[in-house]
């Protein structure tokens, strides 16, 4: 049985003071037993160190929202894996559709980061997902298959087991238009089948596949009930303690 993993992607939100407010709120509202559900907070780089300090002694883990695939050097504006680790990150989101859309990230580029993150001891949360146009053209399967193959190129079975995949249909991100539980399950099952082809059944069964795209307190339970949906990557609804804790609660109930 795979554990459920709920991650909050804060995106470019929350300054230092607001980070403290949100984490204080979360500590109060998530006072129930998580029963093995993992919760990851991914604030902006500027808040990582503070967030890691504030969650000490709580079950929350911290993740970055991006990183570069080099150890150090003249790469203005970039962050190295060791830097993330040094401020207490265990996870890093890679290949988010906003990185693909606004910053031109390709599967090949994301793959370099995935391999580097794994080699550095970080757990990557690797995002894939089709656009609305691609869904309407009925090419979701081809797109997601190519993305998963691309981002996992040269990743061993042993490493694949450690990472998290996030299926995030682009048309559902920040739009309030969530995939139906069945639409999510169909693509998650497809990804699991592909992982079986790539790595064999044992590994495929172990990989956590999160759903992301307008996950809210009122739709989380139905999505998390699907057999191949192992958690959620939450954007908008993770910015308020009450809505994020309600999603965590739904995961605990569906565990």
List active site positions.
96, 168
Residue among 95 and 236 whose Cβ is closer to ligand PGA: 236
Looking only at residues 18 through 47 of this chain, which bind ligand PGA when binding is defined by CB under 6 A? Answer: none
The single-letter DSSP state of residue 223 is H
Q: How many CB atoms lie within 10 A of CB 183?
A: 19
Q: Is 124 among the residues that bind ligand PGA (CB under 6 A)?
A: no
Asked if residue 234 binds ligand PGA (CB under 6 A), the reply is yes
Neighbours of 17 (CB within 10 A): 10
Judged by CB, which is closer to ligand PGA: 126, or 173? 173
Instruction: Single out the residue of 66, 148, 236, 244 in contact with ligand PGA (rule: CB under 6 A).
Output: 236
- Does residue 174 interact with ligand PGA by CB under 6 A? yes
Q: Does 165 bind ligand PGA (CB under 6 A)?
A: no
Q: Which of 64, 123, 235, 248 binds ligand PGA (CB under 6 A)?
A: 235
Identify whether the C-beta of residue 64 lies closer than 8 Å to the C-beta of residue 45: yes
Give CA–CA dist 114/87, Å, rounded.
Answer: 19
Distance of CA 4 to the CA centre of its chain: 12
What's phi and psi for 208, nearest 5 deg? -80, 125
The only residue of 168, 188, 207, 246 in contact with ligand PGA, by rule CB under 6 A: 168
Q: How many residues bind ligand PGA (CB under 6 A)?
A: 13
Q: Which residue lies nearer to ligand PGA by CB, 28 or 177?
A: 177
Concatenated DSSP letters of 159-195: HHTT-EEEE--GGGTTTS-PPPHHHHHHHHHHHHHHH
Q: Which of 50, 94, 208, 215 binds ligand PGA (CB under 6 A)?
A: 215
Q: How far is the CB of 235 from ligand PGA (least distance, A)?
A: 2
Burial of 23 (0-12, 13-18, 19+ CB in 10 A): buried
Selected from 63, 81, 212, 231, the binder of ligand PGA by CB under 6 A is 212
Scored b (16 or more CB within 10 A) or e, 192-220 reads bebbeebbeeebbeebbbbbbbbbbbebb
Angle value at C-alpha 19, between 97 and 229, nearest 5 degrees: 40
Does 173 sit near ligand PGA (CB under 6 A)?
yes
Give the nearest distance from C-beta 54 to ligand PGA in angstroms: 22
Pick between residue 81 and residue 235 the one whose CB is nearest to ligand PGA. Answer: 235
* Least distance in angstroms from the C-beta of 93 to ligand PGA: 8
In the bound complex, what is the minimum distance in angstroms from residue 212's beta carbon to ligand PGA?
Answer: 4
Q: Which parts of 123-163 are beta strand (E)?
A: 123-128
Contact between 229 and ligand PGA per CB under 6 A? no
In the complex, the residues that contact ligand PGA under the rule CB under 6 A are 9, 168, 173-174, 212-215, 233-237
């Amino acid at each position: 049985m795979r554990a459920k993993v709920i991650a909050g992607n804060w995106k470019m939100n929350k300054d230092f003071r607001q980070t403290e407010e949100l984490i204080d709120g979360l500590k109060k509202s998530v006072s129930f037993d998580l029963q093995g559900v993992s919760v990851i907070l991914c604030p902006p780089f500027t808040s990582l160190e503070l967030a890691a300090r504030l969650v000490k002694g709580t079950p929350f883990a911290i993740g970055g929202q991006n990183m570069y695939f080099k150890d150090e050097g003249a790469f203005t504006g970039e962050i190295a894996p060791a830097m993330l680790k040094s401020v207490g990150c265990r996870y890093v989101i890679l290949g988010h559709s906003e990185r693909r859309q606004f910053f031109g990230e390709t599967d090949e580029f994301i793959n370099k980061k995935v391999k580097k993150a794994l080699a550095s001891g970080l757990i990557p949360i690797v995002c894939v997902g089709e656009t609305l146009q691609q869904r309407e053209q009925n090419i979701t399967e081809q797109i997601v298959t190519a993305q998963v193959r691309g981002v996992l190129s040269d990743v061993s079975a042993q490493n694949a087991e450690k990472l998290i995949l996030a299926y995030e249909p682009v048309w559902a991100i920040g739009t309030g238009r969530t995939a139906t539980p069945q639409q999510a399950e169909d693509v998650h099952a497809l990804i699991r089948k592909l992982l079986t082809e790539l790595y064999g059944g044992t590994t495929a069964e172990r990989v956590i596949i999160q759903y992301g795209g307008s996950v809210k307190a009122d739709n989380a339970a139905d999505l998390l009930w699907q057999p191949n949906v192992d958690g959620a990557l939450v954007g908008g609804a993770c910015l308020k303690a009450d809505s994020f804790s309600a999603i965590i609660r739904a995961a605990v109930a569906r565990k």
